[in-house]
């Protein structure tokens, strides 16, 4: 790294002497330490030091706790898991190998609401952080760290960590400087109202203020974020988008929404992306996005002139989109604001702005309880992420899923959710490719017919009705046949299908 580049990216002179190699930085990390890494949904993660740490595992036995914003890219979670160096991981991950190790009990995963981690760290509730390792575009003259494509928990990690290692990533656009808005909520019991009342309000600083004495090393890297793994909209996700648009239209007709809708939040993944994508051809205009992650669809909506402003805590794009967006980033800059995840996911703001929150379900039951995390109630998929932060406080908590999985052998609509991440009290609208069910203000017995008829796949409807009518004979606010409640899941485990006819 030549001095000119160092000086350009590290504007605070005192810090220039801290430049070091990833391997050296990784060598400071000891067995039993806790690390706070930047990174949220594959964006803005540190890349070099974690890799060097994995390398060390080849010759040395150690374990660390790893806290992040959300999932990491660059296969880091995979490599961490394979190297066996993780004791505890939180608050979210989305890697197949790590998931396998978690489910085998080889590493501990704490599945946390994404807005909660900062509170736990600030309140000294969980293991304190030895090293915050944070990706940056640059460090300003006054010693502020300018994050890259995500903020995640970086600001609270920087504040609370014993020491800080910074990765300055030359592959991240310097144009990112200026889109961040760092606001610290402060301690519970001592904090003021968060002064954000519109999606595009700026309430903080453009970078993360850091204690320069804590900076132990600065590593230069040059590696793009991992592209997102979303797949393009398909026929079924298009149908889901259409159902959601139909619901929005009925809300407008009822006078509860206007054509500007309300600030939109959409979860990570292909389905949520596809559903947002459906707005492009719609009549809705002057939209705002207040979300945790911006995926491809939001930029398509900006290009289509549909979205005026998008607040986020990370930008996670497909390979093609990433190239396109960062080649003409000037075009998008003034429409984007990036916030710490504590603020993007804060109940205070979500409730105040009255978001429309769209998240993906793994399954939901005939009463509207949603499982977002556990396959068959036991095996972790990714984690709850921000879905609980949003659903619990939004104006409209919408959950979307295809009505079946595994070629129809799994019904996403079941008699009894095998794990509950979002309770019947929190779920407003459920959508599948079959249709939508608006559950607001409905008693459990009113919900069932709507969910079965509007959302379940036709091939499972009779079976759901059978369960419900037997349950009704036993009565109750929420009728169930407890000995059969989880039989759909056990049937799938035994016979490879939830479908009675095939099974017998």
Q: Of the two residues 220 and 468, which places its CB atom closer to a copy of itself in the complex?
A: 468
| Calculated CA dihedral for residues 80, 83, 88, 90, nearest 10 degrees | 10
DSSP state for residue 369 in the 8-state scheme? -
Tokens of 42: 């594959």
CB of 252: closest distance to a copy of itself in angstroms? 12
Q: Of the two residues 22 and 126, which places its CB atom closer to a copy of itself in the complex?
A: 126
CB of 359: closest distance to a copy of itself in angstroms? 14
Q: Which helix (H) or strand (E) holds 363?
A: strand 363-365
Other C-beta atoms lying within 10 Å of the C-beta of residue 283 = 11
**Residue 235: C-alpha distances to residues 232, 238, 270, 402, 487 (Å):** 10, 5, 13, 11, 31
Helices (H), 12-125: 13-16, 22-27, 48-56, 76-83, 96-103, 116-122
Residue among 297, 18, 294, 27 nearest 136 (CA): 18
Residue among 265, 324, 262, 327 nearest 299 (CA): 324
Q: Of the two residues 326 and 467, which places its CB atom closer to a copy of itself in the complex?
A: 467
CB of 204: closest distance to a copy of itself in angstroms? 15
CB of 190: closest distance to a copy of itself in angstroms? 9
Q: Of the two residues 332 and 488, which places its CB atom closer to a copy of itself in the complex?
A: 488
Number of H helices, E strands in the chain: 21, 28
> Which residues are tagged catalytic?
292
Other C-beta atoms lying within 10 Å of the C-beta of residue 121 = 24
Q: What is the DSSP string of 371-386?
A: ESSEETTTEE-S--TT
CB of 10: closest distance to a copy of itself in angstroms? 35
Q: Of the two residues 231 and 493, which places its CB atom closer to a copy of itself in the complex?
A: 493
Q: Of the two residues 406 and 474, which places its CB atom closer to a copy of itself in the complex?
A: 474
Burial class (CB in 10 A: 0-12, 13-18, 19+), 373: buried
CB of 49: closest distance to a copy of itself in angstroms? 24
């Amino acid at each position: 790294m030549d001095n000119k580049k160092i000086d350009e990216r590290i504007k605070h002179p005192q810090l220039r002497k801290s430049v070091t190699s990833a391997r050296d930085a990784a060598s400071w990390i000891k067995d039993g330490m806790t690390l706070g890494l930047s990174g949220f949904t594959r964006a803005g993660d540190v890349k070099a030091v974690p890799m060097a740490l994995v390398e060390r595992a080849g010759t040395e036995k150690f374990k660390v706790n790893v806290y992040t914003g959300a999932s990491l890219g660059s296969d880091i979670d995979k490599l961490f898991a394979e190297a066996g160096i993780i004791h505890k991981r939180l608050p979210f991950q989305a890697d197949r190998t790590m998931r396998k190790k978690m489910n085998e009990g080889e590493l501990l995963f704490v599945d946390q609401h994404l807005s909660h981690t900062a509170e736990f760290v600030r309140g000294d509730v969980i293991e304190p952080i030895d090293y915050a390792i944070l990706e940056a575009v640059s460090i300003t003259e006054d010693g502020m760290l300018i994050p890259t494509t995500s903020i995640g928990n970086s600001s609270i990690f920087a504040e609370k960590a014993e020491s800080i290692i910074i990765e300055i990533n030359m592959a991240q656009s310097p144009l990112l400087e200026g889109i961040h808005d760092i606001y610290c909520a402060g301690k519970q019991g001592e904090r003021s109202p968060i002064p954000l009342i519109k999606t595009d309000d700026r309430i903080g600083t453009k970078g993360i203020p850091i204690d320069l004495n804590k900076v132990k090393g600065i590593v230069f890297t040059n590696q793009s974020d991992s592209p997102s793994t979303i797949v393009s909209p398909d026929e079924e996700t298009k149908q889901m988008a259409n159902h959601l648009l139909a619901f929005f239209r009925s809300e407008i007709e009822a006078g509860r929404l206007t054509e500007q809708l309300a600030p939109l939040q959409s979860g990570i993944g292909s389905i949520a992306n596809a559903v947002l994508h459906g707005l492009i051809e719609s009549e809705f205009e002057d939209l705002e996005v207040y979300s945790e992650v911006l995926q491809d669809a939001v930029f398509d909506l900006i290009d289509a002139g549909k979205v005026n402003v998008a607040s986020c805590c990370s930008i996670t794009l497909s390979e093609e989109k990433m190239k396109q967006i960062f080649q003409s980033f000037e075009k998008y800059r003034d429409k984007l604001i990036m916030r710490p995840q504590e603020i993007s996911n804060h109940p205070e703001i979500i409730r105040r702005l009255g978001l429309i929150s769209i998240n993906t379900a793994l399954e939901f039951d005939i009463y509207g309880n949603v499982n977002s995390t556990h396959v068959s109630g036991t095996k972790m998929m990714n984690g709850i992420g921000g879905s609980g932060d949003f659903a619990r406080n939004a104006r409209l908590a919408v959950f979307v899923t295809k009505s079946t999985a595994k070629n129809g052998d799994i019904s996403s609509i079941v008699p009894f959710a095998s794990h509950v991440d979002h309770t019947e009290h929190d779920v407003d609208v459920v959508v599948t490719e079959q249709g939508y069910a608006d559950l607001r203000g409905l008693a459990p017995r009113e919900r069932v017919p709507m969910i079965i008829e509007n959302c379940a796949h036709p091939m499972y409807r009779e079976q759901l009705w059978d369960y419900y009518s037997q349950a009704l004979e036993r009565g109750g606010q929420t009728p169930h046949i407890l000995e059969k409640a989880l039989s759909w899941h056990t049937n799938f485990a035994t016979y490879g299908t939830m479908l009675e006819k095939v099974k017998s």
